Amino acid sequence: MTGQLWTLRGAHTEYTVTVPAHGRWLELVAWGPHGVSDGPSPVAYDGPVPFLTAGDAAPIEYATDADRPFTGADLVIETSNGQRRVGFVHTDARIDADQRELAVAFADAVTGLRATVHYRVPAGTDVVQRWVELTNDGTDALRVVRAGSGGFCVPTPHGALLSHQWGQWEQEFQLSHVELGHGTFSIGSSQGVPGHLHVPWLAVRDTADPAGSAWGMGLAWTGSWEISAERDTGGLTRVRAGRQLVDGPLELPPGESLTLPVVTGAYSPDGLDGLARVWHTHQRLLAGERLTPRPVLYNSWEATYFAVEAQSQLALARIAAELGVETFVVDDGWFVGRNDDTAGLGDWTPDPAKFPAGFDAFIADVRALGLNFGLWVEPECVNPKSTLYAEHPDWVYSVDGRPLTPVRNQYLLDLGRPEVAEFVHSTVDGLLRRYDIDYLKWDFNRPRTEPGRAGGIAPLDLDGAHVANLHRIYEQLRRDHPGVLIEACAGGGARTDLAMAARADVFWPSDNTGPLDRLAIQYGFLHANAPHLLSSWVTDAPGLFDSRPRSLAFRFVLAMAGVLGIGADIRAWTPDERAEAADWIARYKEIRDVVTHGEVHLIGGPDQARCAVQYTAPDENRVVVLAWHTGRLDGAGLLPSRPVRLPLRGLDPAARYSHGDRHYSGSHLATVGLPVHWSATHDADLIVLTRD
């Protein structure tokens, strides 16, 4: 079957691969819009490769170190005597009738290793999901030294323009661009979690056409990871993505199989903005029937911190209900021993001193206000000052004979241990069965430091075991409690990847709720994630990096870009502020279906004079525009009064749209733009256009 072509077809794209006549590997022919596979391959290289091997220059889809010994392999296998250089021969392939699923098999006669490279294009999308299944059919144990999920080859004849997201705690999802003429660019995490420092997401464009074709890669892995991009002298950029093996090589005994994480590629002809919409479509498909407009929530953290007790929480809940909030979430501090961050984690029993009438009665009082009820948990962590740690000190990650490293005064439970996984699942499941809970905020406030297990026999794939059990617990909870929404949080946005997007209902992108800081965070977030995953609160907190104040309107319009929440101490709001908040919440409820399901266009940016997000309803009858002014607002007369023009995208040029008593044609909105007037007291706008 060598020399055969297989083409996978997406909604607007195609992905074509082949096994060359020598049968040693699978390589890309073309990836892009329908028809890109016709004619010469845009990634093929037929020139000489002196001082290298042919594989080092070929657009290989999944390369061993025998295929690419010098320019970076996806898979490195080591035998028991330390030898490497696995070399495959093609054995089989199968593709489904719809041309959306493909499996290509290879085998190595020396080691007995089999590898099946899988492809899937979900219906209605322009992404290709890829993963590899390894099976040891030999008689000796093998070690997986590098566990990449795949390599994506992108034509960049003029140079590669790479877009990535970097950050830190309270400054996540900062969008940045790097021109890569030659050499390698790499990002990743060794923290046992995707982390705040980088996002497992990358975009590639040719430097000569940044508004044109864009290719993206995202990894579905909630542990340590790595993504690298290398541009060769022939103009090909190859992106490798997969696990980072922080615990050492993976053991693959005879007869055993190992499935590597899914890595997803995306294509758009319309630059980063178009690529964002491809990711949104994919993530909405991952959500399935759970893709519904999320309730407006109130979270008590910034109002009370650890000082949680029934009466103060109910006072907040009463005001929240009057404002139109639908779900009330009690954050950290509700359980025994939890008066600060030094104690209590692990002992998940409501504190009777804080809820003297009982936690059931407290929840009933909240629900009597017409509110659903939500609760914060951090079940993977434990404080040294807790009953759980006193009884099970061996349950935390540790290296025998070495001191433990506390982060935020807590240790991390070894979720890969079956008894720990059972404890975590039974604890959260028990809370959901015992109490009338509709919303769960699952937090994770520290990385893994000690890479060991008490009394454990090395080597252990601690990272893989933790991730596998975490995913399984999320899946069990969603299966057994389908009405409960789960918010994934990790000290902010340290746990956002495609695997969690398929298992959580919403992400908490950052602990920073300051308005201008948050604008930049959300701008980056929406390039890689759909709005239904974006939890955003209105608070009174100043930004850490840009502390300029913004109006209540600015903060509400900003939080409406995804899932609207409130985290301010609303007891301190004036009657006028509460009335304004109630009006914004009512307006959000009118547009949230468009925000949830609409086609998104990102206009301008947080560092530009104009910054907006446009949402066009699937039936194209409504267009929602959220716009913010990012300039100076520190005194009357300092803000220019000239209107800003926002060019809207994706509208029918022949259609007419109305906003109040103003009427516009689609072509006018695309070319001249929608006028938005700013003033010293008007720094944000929510505009709803209706198709006439």
169 assigned ligand-binding residue:
yes
SS3 category, 482: coil
Q: Are 429 and 444 in contact (CB under 8 A)?
A: no
Q: How many CB atoms lie within 10 A of CB 435?
A: 14
DSSP E strand boundaries for 556-610? 563-566, 599-604
Query: Is 593 annotated to bind ligand?
Result: no
Q: Which two tokens stand for residue 521?
A: 């965070």
C-alpha pair distances (Å), 680 with each of 15, 321, 470, 541, 684: 51, 31, 48, 20, 11
Output the pLDDT for position 609: 76
| Residue 372 annotated as part of some ligand binding site | no
Question: How many helices (H) and strands (E) are present in the chain, helices listed first?
Answer: 13, 37
Active-site pick, 438, 443, 505, 683: 443
How far, in Å, CA of 514 to CA of 555, rounded? 9
Give, rounded to a whole angstrom, the gap between the first and last alpha carbons of the chain.
56
Three-point CA angle 628, 630, 636, nearest 5°: 100
Rg (alpha carbons) of the chain, rounded to whole number = 26
Structure tokens at 260: 């590597």
Domain annotation for the chain: domains and CATH numbers: 4-288 (2.70.98.60), 289-596 (3.20.20.70), 622-691 (2.60.40.1180)
Candidate list 67, 505, 511, 540, residue with the active-site label:
511
Is 331 assigned a ligand-binding role in the annotation? Answer: yes
445 is in an annotated binding site: yes
d(CA 503, CA 479): 11
**Residue 637: its pLDDT value, please?**
43
Residue with tokens 């709803």: 688
Count how many residues are written for the chain.
Answer: 692
- Residue 442 annotated as binding site: yes
What is the CB neighbour count within 10 angstroms for residue 383? 22
**Up-side HSE of residue 188: CA atoms within 13 Å toward CB?**
20
Q: Quote the pLDDT of residue 636.
A: 46
Query: What's residue 2's pLDDT?
Result: 65
Profile the chain (692 residues) by mean pLDDT over runs of 10 residues: 86 98 97 96 90 94 96 96 96 95 98 98 98 98 98 98 98 98 97 98 98 98 98 96 97 98 98 98 98 98 98 98 98 98 98 98 98 98 98 96 96 98 98 98 97 87 98 98 98 98 98 97 98 98 92 97 98 98 98 98 91 97 95 53 86 96 96 88 93 96
**Within 13 Å, how many C-alpha atoms sit on residue 98's CB side?**
10
Annotated binding residue 628:
no
| Predicted structure pTM score | 0.97
User: In terms of C-beta density within 10 A (0-12 exposed, 13-18 middle, 19 or more buried), how is residue 210 classed?
Assistant: middle
**Is 443 marked active-site?**
yes
Q: Given this model, what pLDDT does residue 641 score?
A: 58
Dihedral pair phi/psi, residue 422, rounded to 5°: -65, -40
pLDDT of the residue at 365:
98
Q: Please confirm, yes or no, whether 692 is among the known catalytic residues.
A: no
Dihedral angle sign, alpha carbons of residues 462, 464, 468, 473: positive
